[in-house]
Amino acid sequence: MRRWLGLALFVVPACARPAAPVAPPAVAAVAAQARGAESPAPAVVERVDASAQELFAAAQVEGVFVLRSLTTGEQIVSDARLAGVGELPASTFKIPNALIALERGVLGGADASLPWDGVEREGPREWNRDHTLASALRDSTVWFFQEVARRVGPEAMQASLKAFAYGNADIGGGIDRFWLSGQLRISPREQVEFMSRLHRRALPVAPAHCALVEHMLTRAQAPGWSWRGKTGLTEHDGLAVGWLVGLAERGPSTWAYALMIRTPEKELERLIPLRVDLARRLLVRFGALPEAAGQ
């Protein structure tokens, strides 16, 4: 078993790597001010569209896709039951972790850095160096966000997760492990609700911090559209779980989405490219991204 795979990954095809440089905090603040504070959310109306299940079946995985239009409130779920199942968030937790660190003053912005401790870790070689918040989020650097969580501390972390209404908000299992192998659980529906609140600036976080983290999630973009998201990968109880959670913007419309796929633990590595491919295909299928996105 390759331990680093069970922790977190942001390994994606080169074409899906974030295409745009991270905006400095000042630029992010301007963007947040332009969008304003919390905007009213349309009522969520959910419908089941099981057509996505054919893609999961073809890939030989158990999976669910949740897509919410932040413009109309329509929410599509491919499997109503699985959309409500809580799972370890794995590296998708780097999104709230970054927000909390910025809001609590643990990190001062995208360029805030932490020194590498010199310990060679099994995993992507990019992990074994100094990192900034921007590079650690891009490379999904586990040690960086573990140190961030330690600096935030249990009391502040617990309070923030409860304020965010983030899944079950349970930090049992250790301050630097609870999202990797501890008690924290969040469902695909809850992931979409969290991303919706992030985009609407409806979290108890400064709009500038929301805007900055959202920008740092950019995977690909071109005139007229953008694709933002964070991967996650973990294993427990004989299962491998893969995530991709984020936002898609096309023209005047924005969507929040969450893809979760599961296989037997022995097939974990197969989920690394598959979660990205399936999410892209489903976002294209439902009109949230153009065919060219991520290619």
Report the alpha-carbon distance of residue 68 to residue 198 in Å, rounded. 13
Report the alpha-carbon distance of residue 94 to residue 120 in Å, rounded. 21
Beta carbons within 10 angstroms of residue 171's beta carbon:
21
Report the alpha-carbon distance of residue 186 to residue 194 in Å, rounded. 10
Instruction: Report CA Rg, the chain.
Output: 18
Q: Which of 199, 222, 210, 227 is nearest to 284 (CA)?
A: 227
Report the alpha-carbon distance of residue 6 to residue 21 in Å, rounded. 29
Please return the burial class of 21, using the count of CB atoms within 10 Å of its CB with bins 0-12, 13-18 and 19+. exposed
181 included as an active-site residue: no
Report the alpha-carbon distance of residue 129 to residue 119 in Å, rounded. 9
Among the listed residues 91, 140, 160, 226, the single catalytic one is 91
Active site residues: 91
